[in-house]
Amino acid sequence: MLSIKSLFNQSPPHINIVKRHTALLMGQAIVLLFLAIVYVGLEFKATIMEVGVEKGVMSPLVLETSQDDAVLGSETETIPTPESTQNIVEEGVVEVTPTPSPFPKPSQKEYTIAVYGDSMEDTMGSGLEYLDHELTTRYPETTFHFYNYGMGSNNVRDGLERFHRPFHYQDRDYRKIADIKPDIIVMGSFAYNVLTPHDRDSHWLGLTHLVQEAQKITPHVYILAEIAPKRRGFGFGPNGINWEPATAYEHTGKIIEQLENAVGLSQPLHVPLIDAYTPSLQEEKKEGRPELINSSDGIHPSVEGHEFIAKIIADTIELP
């Protein structure tokens, strides 16, 4: 039990608490004062920089802190590059002339483009979005109308049978291809759907007939040789056909023969070739580049594959 003397010798508890709080408040006040000084300094610097930019000159303060920055009218003005022509029209002001487009200006304001084929074309998107992106980027002032006549599981005979019919498939409902009067027709190879029994010569004749029918609609017809298939792992994946490896390997040999038909037909028919096959083929393995093929089914193009094909189409076709 505490004695009366010891109680008188102790400081009241509330005095110690007040001392601690006072010290804490003083510390906080010092920090806040420092932050306020920094903030005012930054505001002052920003104001000087804004005035300098509005007048087209660099203030001494800005020169002191950012010697590497290029500002119009300063001694560190940007050096002209081959990509753009810079003409000084008055002191302190630079007029930049845009780089001319590397693509020739189209002769028409609008174009209708139809792509015809099997699932390799069908998976390009209902509105051929990959090709749309490529062409509208190159020709931003031109309007394009795209029609995707690609249908899954079609061989070249199926393609011939429906060529002059209206097209009703998935979310697409089109008139027959002749009625839309396309400026350009891109004819797919139908190589991925092998005839039963496989007959390379029949595929050659069928694709020839299809191209000739397309030429009755427009003189601007192109043959598309799609990307090379996998040989090991063809059709393998959660959404693939998952055949036995030997069956898949044998089947892809037939696909390659029909793709080679598409490449070979271009010259005798005097039809321009859109060749995605050759640059997609790994010569040492004699099969397609894996990054261009959808890993989900092991058959159709991946997103990268569709972008790859769309770029080759856009690089090849010439707008009439």
Percent of the chain with pLDDT over 90: 66
Contact indicator for 195, 289 with CB cutoff of 8 Å: no
User: Alpha-carbon distance 53 to 55, whole Å?
Assistant: 5
DSSP code of residue 293 = B
- Mean pLDDT for all residues in the chain: 81
Give the length of the chain: 320
Q: Label residue 272 left, alpha or beta by phi (over 0 means left) and psi (-120 to 50 means alpha).
A: beta
pLDDT, tens only, 243-278: 999 999 999 999 999 999 999 999 999 999 999 999
Q: What is residue 162's three-state secondary structure?
A: helix
Contacts of 147 (CB under 8 A, 6+ apart): 112, 113, 114, 115, 128, 174, 177, 180, 182
Could you read off the pLDDT of 198-210 as tens digits, one per residue?
999 999 999 999 9
**Which is more confident, 229 or 38?**
229
What's the pLDDT at 30? Answer: 72
| Cα distance between residue 282 and residue 293, in whole Å | 13
Mean pLDDT, range 131-156, rounded to an integer: 98
pLDDT at residue 52 tops 60: no
Strand pairing of 85-90 and 93-97?
antiparallel
Peptide bond into 268 cis (omega under 30): no
Residue 174 · residue 147 · CB < 8 Å:
yes
Structure tokens at 283: 């010569």
Question: Which one-letter amino acid corresponds to residue 278?
Answer: T
CATH of domain 110-316: 3.40.50.1110
pTM above 0.75, yes or no: no
54 against 239, higher pLDDT: 239
Instruction: Tell me whether strands 172-174 and 184-188 are parallel, antiparallel or unpaired.
Output: unpaired
Q: Where are the domains of the chain?
A: 13-97, 110-316
Distance between CA atoms of 57 and 15, rounded to whole angstroms?
Answer: 60
Name the band, by pLDDT with cuts 50, 70 and 90, for residue 48: very low
For residue 104, what pLDDT is reported?
83
pLDDT tier at 242 (50, 70, 90 boundaries)?
very high
**pLDDT reading at 285 higher than 50:** yes
- Tell me, what's the pLDDT at 219? 98
Could you report the per-residue pLDDT of 157-176, keeping only the tens digit for each?
999 999 999 999 999 999 99
Two tokens, residue 165: 């019919």
